Amino acid sequence: MKVLHIITDLDTGGAEMMLYKLLVSLQDESVDSSVVSLMGHGVISVRIEELGIKVETLDMGQGERPGWSTLVSLKQLMARIEPDIVQGWMYHGNMAATLAKLLGWMSGCKAGLFWNIRQTLYDLNNEKRQTRWLIHLGRWLSFLPSKIIYNSNMSRKQHADVGYNNNSQVIPNGFDLQQFYPDPRRCQQFRESIGVTNETVLIGHISRFHPMKDHATLLRVVDRVVETSGGHQDIQFLLVGYGVTADLSDHPSIRFLGERTDVAEIMSALDLVVLTSAWGEGFPNVIGEAMASGVPCVVTNVGDSAQIVGQYGLVCSVGDDRCIANSLLRLINSAEQRQFMGQQARKRIQRSYTMDIINEKYLECWGLH
């Protein structure tokens, strides 16, 4: 069975990482995978090609609409690959997958079409003009895919509310428990590498710099936590992610690590993870990675975050820095509660969100199992 995946780009991001993890898990199945990036190569494309999967690129620019050369390239790809399934990823990828399906049909290729939507729609005004246009176009074309795959219940509900076809399925993100796990050795090594002792309570915020991630609220949380603790505990916040630099703040309790590739090692060294996102999230990968690592989370009630952590994490309203700070302080002051919640959080991932489970859901959705 041949599956062609079409995605906007292959830089570091939630959708890109989920595609990569899915491709890894599908290697043991009778699935011949191909990948097309609408833009260029990125960090994830290198990792995909290391699996022996060729990545084709259409070299489209940011915000560029498909021209004649793009259509010709898609038609040629469909004729050469002859996929049984075309799987789009994100709005741009879904539209390109739809074009590929139609162009392939003209050449006699009767591939099934599937969309993958990973964004929530709290306020369309927060989106770029072209993204808003694609969302509206997707509503009118949503009868075409055999199924629309969402990674969160919230995303499915919100898209249905604006008129998307109800022929859909929620397949959450999956996590590699061999990569993300509690590891005292990795914890010690990482803490030593940044000059932090085991007595320091280390709180991680891992996300790229973007308005939806709401770093402004995070900075207010840092102020509240440090002020309330009164210096009686050594508390450090680690800010990790693309575009996250020391220009944001000169607070002495914040360490800026920028974009990193060793997130699993960082997770194993953390005591807590905090998520302050204000919108846009469906299923934040960082929550699942933290839980798999045995690290309890304090999150905002965005996307399916509350459902993911269940009773083994703490949930606050968007922008409520007081609630987030108090929740962190509650766990900072109880190592025993942190340990218990972290252990139960990992078990929750083992029960519902391993890559084996998610892999099977995709195969069933595509009609391969």
**Could you report the per-residue pLDDT of 38-76, keeping only the tens digit for each?**
998 888 999 999 999 999 999 887 777 777 888 888 999
What pLDDT, on a 0 to 100 scale, did the predictor assign at position 209?
92
On the question of pLDDT at 101 being above 90, the answer is: yes
On the question of pLDDT at 124 being above 90, the answer is: no
**Quick one: which of 64, 46, 60, 45 has its CA closest to 5?**
45
Tens digits of per-residue pLDDT, 130-163?
888 999 999 999 999 999 999 999 999 999 999 9
179 within 8 A of 214, measured Cβ to Cβ = no
What pLDDT, on a 0 to 100 scale, did the predictor assign at position 353?
97
Residue 187: in which H helix or E strand, if any?
Answer: helix 184-193
Query: CA neighbours within 13 Å on the CB side: how many for 106?
Result: 11
What pLDDT, on a 0 to 100 scale, did the predictor assign at position 29?
77
Tens digits of per-residue pLDDT, 269-283?
999 999 999 988 999
- More confident of the two residues 89 and 62: 89
Tens digits of per-residue pLDDT, 276-318?
999 889 999 999 999 999 999 999 999 999 999 999 999 999 9
291 within 8 A of 346, measured Cβ to Cβ = yes
303 within 8 A of 282, measured Cβ to Cβ = yes
Beta strand 297-300 with 168-170 is: unpaired
What pLDDT, on a 0 to 100 scale, did the predictor assign at position 261?
87
Please report the domains of the chain, with CATH numbers, ordered by start residue: 2-174+354-365 (3.40.50.2000), 184-351 (3.40.50.2000)
For 221, residues 6+ apart whose C-beta sits below 8 A from its C-beta are: 274, 276, 321, 324, 325, 328
Task: Output the pTM of the full model.
Answer: 0.91
Report the 10 Å Cβ neighbour count for 358: 21
What pLDDT, on a 0 to 100 scale, did the predictor assign at position 61?
77
Going across the sheet that includes 85-89, the strands are 55-57, 32-37, 2-7, 85-89, 112-117, 147-150, 168-170
What pLDDT, on a 0 to 100 scale, did the predictor assign at position 244?
93
